[in-house]
Amino acid sequence: MAKKNILDYETVALDDENNALRIIDQTKLPYEIEILSLTVQEDIWRAIYLLQVRGAPAIGVAAAIGIYLAGREMEASNMNEFYEKFMKAKDYLASARPTAVNLFWALNRMEDVVKANMDKSVDEVKKILHDEAVAIRDEDVWVCTQIGENALTLVKPGDGLLTHCNAGQLATVKYGTATAPMYLGQERGYNFRIFADETRPLLQGARLTAFELHESGLDVTLICDNMSATVMKKGLVNAVFVGCDRVAANGDTANKIGTSVVATVAKRYNVPVYICAPTSTIDLNTATGNDIHIEERPAEEITEMWYKERMAPEGVKVFNPCFDVTDNDLIAGIVTEYGIAKPPYSKSLIEIFEKKKEAFANKAK
């Protein structure tokens, strides 16, 4: 029997038989592949907060499954009572991570299902919530595939691609966002040369992106974050593909800390930067990147998390923002499942949503 690689496991899934959210514990990778089966809301909240499940799309799917599981266990004599309890559970899960808009998008979508079916019985609504959570998960596969197809139009076989953090299959259900063109290209013999930033301080590029790409047989080279200028200056990188956790209406994007540095360097060396963003991460209610709340993480992630011994002096001050904002003038395009938005983003992002609305209307016919 062939040895399973990391992509043979489901990143996030609903285990109907055991009424559980099943995830890969990403804090254990690449040393150990541990599958967690979570049934308690506190454990699901903790898994999102501790980055055991991470990546904007995967967080959204986990939240949808999590709130369904919460609703499934609720005892209520009528829908008004059920809705009140549902909203408490929703607010609790929403408090796990403040920056990734997919968390709120998925929870709001599940709430909309409840509000649209207040005339039905509690048991009927629980079944509808189950089906919606499964639909959100299945849609993520389609979204990532379409992002990959659209992104492939921006590059050619043999190109060198650079990515930061992990916007791969481990951040989604399948293919990833920024890695979708890499996986689809591999299936079609594109022979991309990929550079993965290690991505301090949580090392998602080293532990996750390099791991999953290497396991899948892609040509991947791991580099430290501060090496991006060197590989670009040498002409080894033809395009940068990264994911994001939120896109503002003007095209500013929040992604893992260090993305704005990569984009600034890429601008210097005329390397285009493409943001791979499902429309669920685009927040037209957020005007600019200045309005995005940036999560700050514990100091220990920098001073001691990855070391046998503490690697910074006791008592030293630590600043540990999880994300930074890449200004829209550094971005060549925002790749979505409904096409590629180009500057000016205040116009093109609205056009993307018009395409999405038209697609839904055609599907409903």
**Number of residues assigned to the chain:** 365
Q: Is there a single domain that holds both residue 342 and residue 272?
A: yes
Residue 339 gets the label, from left (phi > 0), alpha (psi -120 to 50) or beta, of: left
* Angstrom distance (rounded) from CA 44 to CA 101: 17
Nearest alpha-carbon partner for 94 in 67, 128, 117, 119: 67
User: Does a structural domain hold residue 231?
Assistant: yes
Domain that holds residue 70: 6-144
Looking at the annotation, which residues are catalytic?
245
Question: Which 3 state secondary structure label does DSSP give 319?
Answer: coil
In this structure, are 122 and 251 located in the same domain? no
Q: Give me the sheet containing 160-163, strands edge to edge.
A: 219-223, 193-197, 160-163, 239-242, 273-276, 333-336, 339-341
Dig out the tokens for 128 from the structure: 């509808």
Q: Are residue 243 and residue 334 in the same domain, yes or no?
A: yes
Residues 188 and 77 in one domain: no
Q: Rounded distance, CA 173 to CA 55, Å? A: 10
Instruction: Give a yes or no: residue 149 inside a domain.
Output: no
Q: Count CB atoms within 10 A of the CB of residue 365.
A: 4
User: Whose CA is closest to 56, among 160, 168, 134?
Assistant: 168
User: Which CATH number covers residue 134?
Assistant: 1.20.120.420
Predicted pLDDT at 5: 81
Looking up tokens 């992509």 gives 7
Query: Do 359 and 224 share a domain, yes or no?
Result: yes
Residue 62 tokens, joined: 């986990």
Give the C-alpha separation, 129 to 113, whole Å: 7
Q: Which of 112, 144, 176 is the last residue of a domain?
A: 144
- Both 242 and 219 in one domain: the answer is yes
Look at residues 96, 122, 144 and tell me which one is the last residue of a structural domain.
144
CB 240 within 8 A of CB 276: no
**166, 205 Cβ separation under 8 angstroms:** yes
Any domain includes 134? yes
Q: Tell me whether residue 229 is in a domain.
A: yes
Burial class (CB in 10 A: 0-12, 13-18, 19+), 12: buried
pLDDT in tens, the chain (365 residues): 556 788 889 999 999 999 999 999 999 999 899 999 999 999 999 999 999 999 889 999 999 999 999 999 999 999 999 999 999 999 999 999 877 688 999 999 999 999 999 999 999 999 999 999 999 999 999 999 999 999 999 999 999 999 999 999 999 998 999 999 999 999 999 999 999 999 999 999 999 999 999 999 999 999 999 999 999 999 999 999 999 999 999 999 999 999 999 999 999 999 999 999 999 999 999 999 999 999 999 999 999 998 899 999 999 999 999 999 999 999 999 999 999 999 999 999 999 999 999 998 887 76
Burial 100-123 (b: 16+ CB within 10 A, else e): bbbbbbbbebbbebbeeeeeeebe
Do 260 and 305 lie in one domain? The reply is: yes
In a domain, 173, yes or no: yes
**Integer Cα distance of 83 and 99 in angstroms:** 26
CA 332 from centre of chain:
20
Q: Are residues 292 and 356 in the same domain?
A: yes
- Residue 18 domain-assigned? yes
Helical H segments across the chain, by residue range: 41-49, 56-72, 79-94, 101-116, 122-152, 180-187, 204, 210-215, 228-233, 259-268, 300-303, 345-364
CATH number for 200: 3.40.50.10470
Q: What is the pLDDT of residue 124?
A: 98
Question: How many C-beta atoms surround the C-beta of residue 158 within 10 A?
Answer: 11
CA distances from 309 to 23, 44, 296, 306 (A): 30, 30, 23, 9
What is the rounded (10 degree) CA torsion for 177, 179, 180, 183?
-160
Co-location of 321 and 204 in the same domain: yes
In a domain, 295, yes or no: yes
Shared domain check, 224 and 100: no
Count the domains in the chain: 2
Q: Are residues 200 and 251 in the same domain?
A: yes
- In terms of Cα–Cα distance, which of 136, 156, 7, 164 is closest to 61? 136
Residues 6+ apart with CB under 8 A from 358: none
Q: State the burial class of residue 157 (Cβ atoms within 10 Å of its Cβ: 0-12, 13-18, 19+).
A: exposed
Domain-located, residue 150: no
CB atoms within 10 A of CB 311: 11
Of 144, 179, 204, the last residue of a domain is 144
pLDDT at residue number 3: 67
- Angle subtended at Cα 104 by Cα 99 and Cα 106, rounded to the nearest 5 degrees: 130
Q: Are residues 206 and 285 in the same domain?
A: yes
